Amino acid sequence: MPIKKVVILDRDGVINVDSDAFIKSPDEWVALPGSLEAIARLNQAGYRVAIATNQSGIGRGLFDMNALNAMHLKMHRLAAAVGGRIDAVFFCPHTAEDHCECRKPKPGMLKMITERFEVLPEHTPVVGDAMRDLQAGAVLGHPVHLVLTGKGRKTLEAGGLPDGTRVHDDLRAFALDFLSDAHE
């Protein structure tokens, strides 16, 4: 059976601009330069794209499901406009105080994605800008990739990255590096 090709991305700080005040509306959701084109490039190479994103702003009462859905609709439309497709968006609405299994750094969302797409973690890269993204992926055996957008530079400077973490300037650089490695 051929290996299914899926890439798992964090959202805020990887695909779109991040904010310490949270991204709360479609107006605040602004794609990072080249990120949607990177998704299109991954799709064109045969990869499906899934997003795993903590969205504790819901649990904090900063925005509701309608706002989150509107942000994701904008993201899907803008990706489609450049030839990209996001196959699934998994999100955790909980706060850290909820102690759920889906909030990164716990691996619950990533487990759900690998089960839904029937992929093996070791063949499914996880791309994030925060330590919690990398930790969630590493604990399951995913290849982990840090992008230096969003919280990425601070994450790199703090050190302690999981073994084998690859570092890229942004999602566009990840896509180029990853796809060139995949063809070697």
Binding site members? 10, 12, 92, 94, 100, 102, 129
Distance between CA atoms of residues 98 and 117, nearest Å: 27
Whether residue 181 lies in the annotated active site: no
Question: Is 12 a known active-site residue?
Answer: yes
Q: Which residue is associated with the tokens 């649990």?
A: 59
* Contact assessment for residue 165 and residue 8, using Cβ atoms and an 8 Å cutoff: no
Annotated binding-site residues for Zn(2+) read: 92, 94, 100, 102
Q: Which residue among the candidates 10, 18, 133, 170 is catalytic per the annotation?
A: 10
Q: Specify which residues 144 forms β-bridges with.
A: 126
Among the options 12, 18, 133, 170, which is catalytic?
12
CA-angle at 110, arms to 72 and 47, nearest 5°: 70
Total residues belonging to the chain = 184
| Cα 128 to Cα 75: distance, rounded to the nearest angstrom | 17
Binding residues for Mg(2+): 10, 12, 129
Q: Annotated active-site positions, please?
A: 10, 12
